[in-house]
Amino acid sequence: MLEGIDLSRRIAQTVREVCERLRIPYIFKASFDKANRSSLGSARGPGLDHGLEQLSIIREEFGVPVTTDLHEPAQAEVLAGVVDVMQIPAFLCRQTDLLLAAGEAAARHQCTVNIKKGQFLSPAEMRGPVTKVRSAGCDSVIVTERGSSFGYNRLVNDFIGVGDLLAWGEPGGVGAGGETGPALCFDCTHSVQTPGTGATTGGHRARVPLLARAAAAAGVDLIFLECHPDPANAPSDASNMLPLDQVPRLLELVVRLSGAAREGGE
């Protein structure tokens, strides 16, 4: 969640420097509105206008692409004119009007749509949301795996399903035969959440590096990683964010594992 331009600058500068050193791309992510907070009284963010203003500053000052969440169809055209990637939240990933609006706006502005896989969907069911966005004219699509609901208050990651998403149009994949699949992102911070355990969502931050390493070794295209200089006092996702000072070492490991995965697939 956007907490102010100074904090955003600090995070963007730190992570960009690491990514430049490792020669990997970096997309800055922050939400202008956290619309699905556990408690009515929880902080939600600065709102659309102020949020996009801050994201524009980060994009211009640091020369990096930016992304944020899309909640309503009416926001699509506004967001697509400012951000490089529009993200469909997991709980909204089957909303046809939202997906079509995102796809249409993304096609007009030549940006990307990232669809987070709902905790309630199988990998194969993500073919529907991807098809909807593509039918609206957008060919630049990402699918983000962020865990599946398992009983109450627990998410699990199915790496067989990750493999099915990576294979997409191949035998055993989730798409039609010969169909080009979307890029696959793995969200290693929201995957450690324990939803519904209190006024705020809990999480197992210590397991973030494990999932990031596993995803890189599996050969995913992108890693989604939330970080903060003081996670314990962050107003959103405090229990699952990685401390900012731990990001460089983890990204170094991820890059090495990703390289080994590519070499092994050749």
Rounded Cα distance, 147 and 188, in Å = 9
Query: How many residues can be counted in the chain?
Result: 266
Rounded Cα distance, 213 and 179, in Å = 28
pLDDT above 70 as % of the chain: 95
Beta carbons within 8 Å of 74's beta carbon, 6+ residues apart? 101
pLDDT category of residue 41 using cuts at 50, 70 and 90: low
**pLDDT the model gives residue 245:** 98
Which has more pLDDT, 198 or 246? Answer: 246
- 222 neighbors 212 (Cβ within 8 angstroms): no
**pLDDT the model gives residue 151:** 84
Mean pLDDT of 15-35: 95
**Average predicted confidence (pLDDT) for the chain:** 94
φ and ψ of 114, to 5 deg: -105, 120
**pLDDT the model gives residue 199:** 62
**pLDDT tens track for 117-173:** 999 999 999 999 999 999 999 999 999 999 999 888 889 999 999 999 999 999 999
**pLDDT tens track for 71-89:** 999 999 999 999 999 999 9
Instruction: Tell me the pTM.
Output: 0.94
Indicate the range of 104-108, 138-142, 187-191, 197-201 predicted with least confidence: 197-201
**pLDDT the model gives residue 38:** 59
CATH topology of domain 5-265: TIM Barrel (3.20.20)
pLDDT category of residue 254 using cuts at 50, 70 and 90: very high
Handedness of CA 150, 39, 71, 202 (dihedral sign): negative
Rounded Cα distance, 135 and 154, in Å = 34
**pLDDT the model gives residue 197:** 57
Domain spans, the chain = 5-265
pLDDT category of residue 233 using cuts at 50, 70 and 90: very high
pLDDT category of residue 98 using cuts at 50, 70 and 90: very high
Indicate if the pLDDT at residue 266 is higher than 60. Answer: no
Rounded Cα distance, 263 and 151, in Å = 37
Q: What angle do CA 16, 20, 22 make, to 5 degrees?
A: 120
Indicate if the pLDDT at residue 198 is higher than 70. Answer: no
- Residue 265: alpha-carbon gap to chain centroid: 25
Indicate if the pLDDT at residue 110 is higher than 90. Answer: yes
**pLDDT the model gives residue 205:** 93
Rounded Cα distance, 93 and 134, in Å = 14
**pLDDT the model gives residue 37:** 59
**pLDDT the model gives residue 27:** 98
**pLDDT the model gives residue 263:** 86
